[in-house]
Each structure stands twice: as structure tokens, then as C-alpha cells.
Amino acid sequence: MKKYILTIACVLMVSAFAKAQSAQDIFQAVGTPSNPKVKISFNQYYTSEGLAALGKKITDAHPNLVKRMSIGKSTQGRDIWMLAITDYSTGDADRKPGFYLDGNIHSNEIQGGEISTYTAWYLTESFGKVPYITEMLKDRVFYIVATINPDARNNYMKEANTRNTPRAGMIPLDDDSDGLFDEDGFDDLDGDGSITQMRRKSTTGDFILDPRDPRKMIRISPDDVVTGQRYEMLGGEGIDNDNDGRINEDIPGYYDPNRDWGWKWQPDYVQRGAYKYPFSAPETRAVADFVKKHPNIAGAQSFHNSGGMILRGPGAEEDLATYNRADIAIYDAIGKKGEELLPGYNYLTVYKDLYSVFGGELDWFYGGRGIYTFTNEIFTGFAYYKNKDGGFDQIYAADKDLLLGDGFTPYKEYNHPTYGLVEIGGFKKNTGRATPGFMLEEEAHRNMVFVFYHAFHMPHLSIGDVSVKSLPNGLKEVTATIVNDRLMPTHASQDLKYNIERPDYISLSGAKVLAGMIVQDADFNVTTEQKNTPETIRVANIPGNSTVMVRWIVKGGNNLTIKVDSAKGGVVEQRVK
């Protein structure tokens, strides 16, 4: 009888809990989709397979907004999944201005996977509810790749690593040139999944425990009088697997996918991390092939970590001439807005504020394809206390105050085969660079709205004033003003310099066109005539926040159609009576 009553009570409790989670019992928090079709926890990280599964759920729940495709295979044969998101009921998706977004090019820089997925989720769950998103998807298409380095993402998450390894792609390399591959990588001696630090008590050691925080080691200065225990730091956990007298010198494959792109590429002896030749890694090749097949892509964003930075090129001073004043003004406007949207982040230039990068992704996107591109370095120590970034020391306080000790492995003794009795401990691999779970959704949302601001300012074309003027002998003069009301032109300066993309076409149909011209000055009637195919006027560029005026002389026709066809600006048409 007691068992029966207990069972009934449990059923009632479960029933009550289920009812508490129903849609009518939830009050929406502003800025977050209410009662989403796909429920995702954005306070945790997902493996490559986990991200792929989330992408499929989003696609299955929103078939009218998402098409999912593999753009290639990774080194180990995993699919590189892309979600193409737009309102497929309006226009040709491939002819809409496109925005490319990716994350996790470096294996340990994982937040980009979640931010990219959050962006896809937010777009689909907000369509039809948030006018800004609904309008955006009518005339924009987003190409979202959550991880372009799925093999190395899984290695970082599933294998023993430090916070900084593996940065690379997963092509096996012999880092110490001893003819062996990956034979002396990290060893997780205490089995906690993270490579922390080894220290050893020593009468001649040059470190002591910080008296204010025993988790921290501080170096002894020459004038210090030391009465307590000295330690020597031995580096990361590991043993000498190949008997060459060194530890951790040949960690799994080191090549850097962000040195593999075909713009100002340099070989490994110049640019550490470069592979055989530009696009020699299958992951970067897959992205490049996709981008080249989609000339509608006008803006791009790649997510890295960390440091709280909004980066633009050039990657190297040698490439400084690539970025001219007009395009830098556009970068500046978007980047400075990013500083407002992302508190604690700084808008910077790679070569000037960091270091030289040859063969980088953002430089290839802009230099090679004329696509305005940013790289965001996700997470900054500012996020901990919302006042300043106190550097690495701040993480000790944050672990104690905010993470409640969850980010640090206390030191424990271990009998090392080479060093004897040592102590192993320190910060876990998911502490410091990876955004803590309770901050991750805010990080994702803020970086997403920066993407939206960037995408909003891709070219947005319309046909403005149209006038029809009667001329002698049954002729008519048709004049049209083409408007671009966003920051970006239809052709970046780099595009114009190297003729990367075709001109914009402005055409008139419905009558016999005798002459076509670009109007340089309407007041003084200064025009430049196009002798060949006058019905389709070729315009080199439609500048941002500006207009282009064209004119035709036609005979006959009462129902005319003006069409603007721009690779990066899309297609618009208007009937003229």
C-alpha cells in the first residue's frame, strides 16, 4: 500500500513538473525567442557531432528557412556542415546578398561553434516574430559553418590537452624532426582530461607559493628572503614516451589552418604553421571552393578566441596598400559600432596591434574576393567583473568568486618516472580561453548582433525616381536612379582594382533601345554613352549610401521594365508605364 501511494505521489510530481514547463507558464524574456521549436542549452559546448545534430534539428524544424549541406570533408572524413538560411519564399536565394559566417578554425578556439549555432537558431526562431529578422531574411542569405575544423575540435574536447592545444589542424606532422609522428604528445597523468602543470619541491627552486593564494606560484626575486618551501616548475603533464630525453616536444600535428589561405601566403620557414601550399588542407579548400562559387557573398565573419578583439586586416604590413581609405572607412564604421555592442572588446588591426599573419582567412576573403571581413577574438577578462581586464591573475579571483573553484584542479602528488615525486594541478583546459557557461549565451548574442549589423550594411538596392520624357519622332527618354542605401558598395575597392567580380547590369526591356548611357551630371546633362548593347548598361560600382543614374533613348513600347542585376547587391525590378 505504501509503495502504491509513493508511486502515485511520484507520478503527480512528474505531472506537475511537466505542466510547469508548458508554454503558457513561461513569460518571455525580451530579446530571446519565446517557446522555440528547437530547444538548445547555450550554457555548454558541443562536440562536432553535437553541433551537426543541432544544425539538423534547426533544419528539420524550419524547412522553409534552412537548407543544410556538406561543403566538403575534413582530414579525418567528417562532413563540414553549412546551413544556408533565408526566406526561400522570396526571390532566388543565390541572388540575394550573402553573408558567410564560420567558427572554430583553431581547435581550442571553440566558442565560434556555439555562436554560429546560436545565430542560426535565433534567425529561424525569430522569423515572423521580430520584424528586423523577418525583413533581413527576405533579402539576405546567411551561410553558417559552425566549425570548419571538426577533427581538431573533437581532439581538443575529447583528448588530453592544455587550454592552448591543439591549435592546429589534424594532419600528422613530425614537429621535432626525429622521423616519428605524434610519438611524444601530452600525457594526462592524473586522468582529469586536462593537461595541467607539474611542479616539484626543490631547495634550489625559483618559485614559492603565493602567501595570499596558495593556488598561485610566484617567482622569487633576487632580493627575496625565502624561508618557506621552494618549487621548480616542470611544465605541462607528460612523460618521455620516445626516450629522447624530452617531454611533450612532439604534440599532435601542428599546422595552422589560418596560415593556409591563398593571399600573401608564406612557407613554414617564414610563417610558422603554414602547410604545403595555399589551400593544401581539405578544410580550407572546402571553404574557398564554396565562396568562389557564391559571388553574392558581400560580408564575412570568423570567430576565434580570445582577448576581446574585433579584427580587420591587413594581417601583415607588407599588405598595407590593399586596404584603401574608402574601404577602411567602412571597416571603421562597422568595427566601432562593434565596440558599442561588445563591451570590453577593442576594434584593432591585425599587423599593427597584434603580429604579422600571412595566408590568413580574413585577408583572403577581402584581398582575394573583395568581401568585407572581420575576425572576432571571443572572450575577455572584462566579462568577469565588468570593469577591467586584469590579465591572467584575474582568473584566480574569478575562479574563486564566480566559478566557485570549478576551473582549477588542486595540486596532488604523483610519482613521475623521470622527476620522482611531483605535484600536478592547475587550471583546466576549459578555463581562461573558453567563455564560462553562465556567460556564454550573452557572448553569443552580442557577437550575433554584431554580425547582423555587418550583414545589414551589405548593399541594398532599389530603383528610385524614374522619369519618361517624350522626344521628337516618337522617341522617349527614360531616366532611372538606382539607390544603394547601405554602407557597403556593390564592389569593394579591392574588387574594382582586380576586376574580381563582373560589373552591375542595369537593363531596360519592353521597347527598342537606341542608346544607353550613364548620367554623370544631371544638371548639366553630362553623360557617358555605352555604344554596345545599350539596353544593358554596365556600371562598375554602385557606392554605399549613394546613387547611380542611367538613361535610355527608346522607340515604342508602353510597358517597360527596369532591372538591376548585381552579383553582391542582388536583383531588383520595376515596371514603368
DSSP 505-558: EEEEESSEEEEEEEEEETTTTEEEEE-SSTTEEEES---TTEEEEEEEEEES-S
CA angle, residues 453, 455, 458, in degrees to nearest 5: 115
List, by residue number, the catalytic residues. 377
Instruction: Answer whether 63's CB lies under 8 Å from 262's CB.
Output: no
Whose cell is 549565451? That residue is 441
CA distance 392 to 388: 12
Phi first, then psi: give them for residue 521, nearest 5 degrees: -150, 105
Look up residue 80 and give its DSSP letter: E
Amino acid at 551: R
CB contact at 8 A, 240 and 246: yes
Q: Are strands 309-312 and 346-349 parallel, antiparallel or unpaired?
A: parallel
- Model confidence over 502-528: pLDDT tens digits? 999 999 999 999 999 999 999 999 999
Task: Give the model's pLDDT for residue 241.
Answer: 77
The pLDDT, as a whole number, for residue 16 is 44
Domain spans in the chain, listed from the N-terminal domain onward = 43-156+256-379+436-456, 173-251+390-427, 461-576
C-alpha cell at 523: 544638371
Q: Which CATH number fits domain 43-156+256-379+436-456: 1.10.357.10, 2.40.110.10, 3.40.630.10, 3.40.50.720?
A: 3.40.630.10
Whole-Å CA distances, 330 to 298, 333, 457, 512? 13, 5, 9, 40
| The architecture CATH gives domain 461-576 | Sandwich (2.60)
pLDDT value, residue 240:
83
Q: Determine the pLDDT at residue 250.
A: 62
Domains 43-156+256-379+436-456 and 461-576 share a fold: no
Q: Where are the beta strands (DSSP E) in 352-474?
A: 372-378, 408-416, 420-427, 461-470
Helical residues (DSSP H) of 358-492, grouped into ranges:
361-363, 369, 382-385, 394-401, 437-456
According to the model, what pLDDT value does residue 251 have?
59
Q: Which residues of the chain have pLDDT under 70?
A: 1-21, 172-185, 249-254
Q: How many CB atoms lie within 10 A of CB 192?
A: 16
DSSP 161: B
Q: What does the DSSP 8-state code read for residue 241?
A: T
452-508 pLDDT per residue, tens: 999 999 999 999 999 999 999 999 999 999 999 999 999 999 999 999 999 999 999
Instruction: Give the position of cell 590593399.
Output: 322
pLDDT for 392: 78
Per residue in 90-112, pLDDT (tens digit) is: 999 999 999 999 999 999 999 99
Q: If we measure between CA atoms, which residue out of 97, 167, 43 comes closest to residue 489? A: 97
Alpha carbon separation from 538 to 297, 507, 565 (Å, rounded): 20, 9, 10
